[in-house]
Amino acid sequence: MALTKNKNVLTWVDDMVALCKPDQVVWIDGSEEQLASLRKEAIATGEMEELNQEKLPGCLLHRTLQNDVARVESRTFICSRKEEDAGPTNNWCDPKEMYAKLTPMYDGVMKGRTMYVIPYSMGPIGSALAKVGVELTDSIYVVLNMDIMTRMGKAAFENLGETSNDFVRGLHSKANVDPENRYIVHFPEDNTIWSINSAYGGNVLLGKKCFALRIASYQGKNEGWMAEHMLILGIENPQGEVTYITAAFPSACGKTNLAMLIPPEIYEKQGYKVWTVGDDIAWLKPGKDGRLYAINPENGFFGVAPGTNTKSNHNALESTKKNTIFTNVAHNLEDNTVWWEGLDKNPPENAIDWLGKPWNGKTSTEKGAHPNSRFTAPAKNCPCISKEFDNPEGVPISAMIFGGRRAKTAPLVYQSRSWEHGVFVGSTMASETTAAATGAVGVVRRDPMAMLPFCGYHMGDYFAHWLEMGEKLGDKAPKIFNVNWFRTDDEGHFIWPGFGDNMRVLMWIVDRCNGKANAVETPIGYEPKPEDINIKGLDIDLDTVKDLLNVDIDLWKEEAKGIHEFYAKFGDKLPKPLEKELATLEANLNK
């Protein structure tokens, strides 16, 4: 039975039912009773496996097909009416052409299947910062994941009301999971996402990157807010005051680890605490007081399992202990639990690998878990989840941090001279490739604001929107910083200890925001004095910190050349203030 009287929703659902021709239509109300029966059905059909309910209560295991294990950038499209609106960093196709190509693929695709109608809210129900989506899918896996990742069910329609047309229409069918006909397509002007022939989370949980970044970034540009690929964390001092920070990093730069950071002993003893508001996405809007406020539109974590362990991310691991869905990890048959590379040093001898084959972790040369295997865990499981997590107003942001993986160029930390300079820093963000990716190691890849694969419109217009937001916020704009935990010595070893000790750098950032720390001007921005980074209890000395903060003029001249090349992509869409910032950088380096 329909859960809303909203004609816009009902008409669209009817149209999609007529197209896909499911045997039955089930509206997802979000009740535990309905979810329990779907879990039972998924276990009965073998789509999911129930894990040890004593050790992992409410947890399930799922495997995707071998051809369907990650987001596919090459099959992801932005279909704006004008090609130039998609810009040089997105795959574009004319919407009419794409609808004409995909409509026949959806015709009758759900015959013999059930269509699930999933209403969901991105952000707390009732929040003015939240937005509503409806996803139609033929996958129970999608329903159960959306339950963890969003505020799913009947209550989501409360935000929409009976007349609004402001909801994102998501249509997903796993179809035949055929990689040759796999499409993840966004129609920003129609508030619509179509996904077909995939059953992997990143391509089918349409609330995640598809809505919360690609569509939402376009909405934010038009409506005066921002959708960013950023974690949100709060640092509470011993007096109980909390400073909130957002941070953007390309993948493999420790974003989730930073979001759930555990303070080192030196700060813990003094009573400092770190609170997680979000690990992946931030929606930011100016509040009544003129400051920028952030919500995490999601309700769970869709984390990469391999490498997650007690040392690297204790809080993330704790989050997976109940009501979690594991995808493409190894199934430990010894006690019906899960295992992945980097979890511990004791791989199970009797297990099933992510391909569904018998696996002995002690003798096999094959990996037990896929490198992109995942856990979908409720945010409320996280031991350091912020009490402001469900605050409909969001949290006020004092600092924004950009970062990447640079062996020699970027110093440990520096602050931008202004908002415009900060946008320049974010727009030129880069990481050097690691052995994890195919191709050459150490190649500089630019990933502006970590949004390269996720910006739903022209990146030059996106930079302009950042600059406009700065004008709107004026002197209440957050301060912008850049960090680099990945400086290496001549043998290639990391110099900075990283993990929890990154808090030592965050403390300088917080003090800068609160007017309590000094800085030194360099050609690239403001840096701490070496003695302002607390290294008490670390195995490094002041000279090492000086090295970590060193700005190598020759390397930065090379960097400026790389930025010129990158900026050339955007032609006359590159905002003039960014050209000016690049000229300032070069002038500073030549002084």
Q: Where are the domains of the chain?
A: 7-48+72-224, 228-298+387-590, 300-381
> CB count, 10 Å around CB of 110?
23
Rounded Cα–Cα distance for residues 332 and 337 (Å): 5
Is 87 one of the annotated binding-site residues? no
pLDDT by 10s per residue, the chain, length 591 = 899 999 999 999 999 999 999 999 999 999 999 999 999 999 999 999 999 999 999 999 999 999 999 999 999 999 999 999 999 999 999 999 999 999 999 999 999 999 999 999 999 999 999 999 999 999 999 999 999 999 999 999 988 999 999 999 999 999 999 999 999 999 999 999 999 999 999 999 999 999 999 999 999 999 999 999 999 999 999 999 999 999 999 987 889 999 999 999 999 999 999 999 999 999 999 999 999 999 999 999 999 999 999 999 999 999 999 999 999 999 999 999 999 999 999 999 999 999 999 999 999 999 999 999 999 999 999 999 999 999 999 999 999 999 999 999 999 999 999 999 999 999 999 999 765 555 677 789 999 999 999 999 999 999 999 999 999 999 999 999 999 999 999 998 999 999 999 999 999 999 999 999 999 999 999 999 999 999 999 999 999 999 999 999 999 999 999 999 999 999 999 999 999 999 999 999 999
Residue 260 and residue 382 in contact, taking contact as beta carbons nearer than 8 Å:
yes
How do residues 419-452 score in pLDDT, each as one tens digit?
999 999 999 999 997 655 556 777 899 999 999 9
3-class DSSP assignment, residue 248: strand
Length of the chain: 591
E runs forming strands in 221-329 = 226-228, 231-236, 242-248, 273-278, 282-286, 292-295, 300-304, 325-327
DSSP secondary-structure letter at 85? H
State the helix-helix crossing angle for 419-427 and 459-473, rounded to 10 degrees: 160
As given in the structure block, the two tokens for residue 247 are 């941070």
Is 406 one of the annotated binding-site residues? no
- Going by C-alpha positions, the residue among 479, 553, 574 that lies closest to residue 245 is 479
Residue 486 and residue 464 in contact, taking contact as beta carbons nearer than 8 Å:
no
Q: What is the DSSP string of 88-114?
A: TTSEE--HHHHHHHHHHHHTTTTTTSE
Distances (CA, A) of 449 to 106, 214, 429: 35, 14, 6
Selecting from 3.40.50.2000, 3.90.228.20, 3.30.2130.10, 3.40.50.2300, what CATH number does the domain 228-298+387-590 have? Answer: 3.90.228.20
How do residues 355-368 score in pLDDT, each as one tens digit?
999 999 999 999 99
3-class DSSP assignment, residue 131: strand
Is 237 one of the annotated binding-site residues? no
Is 255 one of the annotated binding-site residues? yes
Is 200 one of the annotated binding-site residues? yes
DSSP secondary-structure letter at 290? S
Per-residue three-class SS string for 13-31: HHHHHHHHCCCEEEECCCC
SS3 content of the chain, % helix, strand, coil (to 5): 35, 25, 45
Amino acid at 185: V
Per-residue three-class SS string for 354-390: CCCCEECCCCCCCCCCCCCCEEEEEHHHCCCECCCCC
Q: What is the largest CA-CA distance in the chain?
A: 72
For residue 591, the number of C-alpha atoms closer than 13 Å in the C-beta half-sphere is: 9
Is 150 one of the annotated binding-site residues? no
> CB count, 10 Å around CB of 250?
23
Rounded Cα–Cα distance for residues 158 and 154 (Å): 8
3-class DSSP assignment, residue 431: strand
Is 499 one of the annotated binding-site residues? yes
Q: Which CATH superfamily is domain 7-48+72-224 in?
A: Phosphoenolpyruvate Carboxykinase, domain 1 (3.40.449.10)
Where does residue 375 rank: exposed (0-12), middle (13-18), buried (19+ CB within 10 A)? buried
- Going by C-alpha positions, the residue among 509, 477, 474, 282 that lies closest to residue 388 is 282
Assigned CATH topology for domain 300-381:
Phosphoenolpyruvate Carboxykinase; domain 2 (2.170.8)
Distances (CA, A) of 144 to 31, 59, 152, 200, 575: 12, 11, 10, 13, 43
Residue 264 and residue 501 in contact, taking contact as beta carbons nearer than 8 Å:
yes
As given in the structure block, the two tokens for residue 365 are 């040369």
How do residues 249-287 score in pLDDT, each as one tens digit?
998 788 999 999 999 999 999 999 999 999 999 999 999
Alpha helix positions (H), 60-175: 83-86, 95-106, 140-149, 156-160
Rounded Cα–Cα distance for residues 268 and 277 (Å): 19
Residue 422 and residue 538 in contact, taking contact as beta carbons nearer than 8 Å:
no
Q: Which residues are catalytic?
A: 253
Rounded Cα–Cα distance for residues 530 and 540 (Å): 12
Is 434 one of the annotated binding-site residues? no
Is 254 one of the annotated binding-site residues? yes
